[in-house]
Amino acid sequence: MSATVIDGKAFAAKVRAQVGEHVARLKSEHDLTPGLAVVLVGEDPASQVYVRSKGKMTVEVGMKSVEHKLEADTSERDLLAVIDKLNNDPSIHGILVQLPLPKHLNEDLVINSIDPAKDVDGFHISNVGLLGTGQKSMVPCTPLGCLMMLRDHHGSLSGMDAVVIGRSNIVGKPMAQLLLGDSCTVTIAHSRTKDLPDVVRRADIVVAAVGRPEMVPGDWIKPGATVIDVGINRLDAPEKGEGKTRLVGDVDYESCAAVAGAITPVPGGVGPMTIACLLANTLTACCRANGLAEPEGLTA
């Protein structure tokens, strides 16, 4: 068996195009432009690249893009003041504080200072609680992207057996809640799960979000299962030259692709969906703030 490759890059482009169409309609019919504000504290190189990419794609779909770049030694008080100003700005519908923050800042305090209705990362404790109880919430972008790809590939997920490997607040736990919401039978597995290979082997859907490079081999995968690889890990690649690296996921791609029915690659799988879903969440937040119907297919 050779797995169908779920092309996240192509699917993300499709999602961004849908968002762009909705944004154009909001402008023409309601004189509304969704606004996304990104706050970056410090000069982490990876964060800077990510923020630039977000800003570029925000503008491409016709949204308002605002960036606040603060010094690494910015005080908690000053950062909270920026967030408070954005909370009270009616032209801003989505607020994202780029993580990680410098060590002197309390991430939980900062995240929970964002207006939950503008929390397009879906990390605010109110959104976590709403998602966990099956109520309308802002949904974390990476799990939302995984859900969209699974729905697109399978149609209905009802009754399917899903195993999520990883219990993080950012991916593992919300992913499990979303799969439950689509009537899957869900197991959250992790590094201390007994007989982990056997637990994974029973799954129709495997979502690997454990942060360990190539941890899941092909002989853990049930023949025909769908494998969603959330991991992004860098390994040394001396064959490419001195100091070179290669990106791998949390599953061993070659051996898993030989058994699975469908699989996401790394790179080009889940990664591109994260920013696409950030844009979708900003659109959803704008619609909710103005009492308008939410765009179909772009939220949970």
> Which residues are within 8 A (CB) of 259 and not within 5 positions of it... i.e. 6 or more apart?
1, 3, 218, 219, 221, 222, 223, 225
| pLDDT tens over the chain, length 300 residues | 689 999 999 999 999 999 999 999 999 999 999 999 999 999 888 888 888 999 999 999 999 999 999 999 999 999 999 999 999 999 999 999 999 999 999 999 999 999 999 999 999 999 999 999 999 999 999 999 999 999 999 999 999 999 999 999 999 999 999 999 999 999 999 989 999 999 999 999 999 999 999 999 999 999 999 999 999 988 887 777 777 888 899 999 999 999 999 999 999 999 999 999 999 999 999 999 999 999 999 998
Residue 1: predicted pLDDT: 60
For the CA atoms of 168, 170, 176, 182, the dihedral, rounded to the nearest 10 degrees, stands at: 180
The C-alpha atoms of residue 212 and residue 209 are separated, in whole angstroms, by: 8
3-state DSSP percent of the chain in helix, strand and coil, to 5? 40, 15, 40
Asked if 121 is an active-site residue, the reply is yes
Is 240 an active-site residue?
no
Q: How many CB atoms lie within 10 A of CB 287?
A: 21
Residue 115 annotated among the catalytic residues of the structure: no
Measured CA distances, 48 to 39, 44, 85, 111, 285 (Å): 11, 6, 22, 19, 25
* Residue of 64, 98, 177, 182 marked catalytic: 98
Whether 35 and 92 have beta carbons less than 8 Å apart is answered as yes
- Active-site position among 119, 121, 229, 252: 121
The catalytic residue among 18, 54, 222, 250 is 54
Query: Is the CB of residue 190 less than 8 Å from the CB of residue 168?
Result: no
CB count, 10 Å around CB of 31?
7
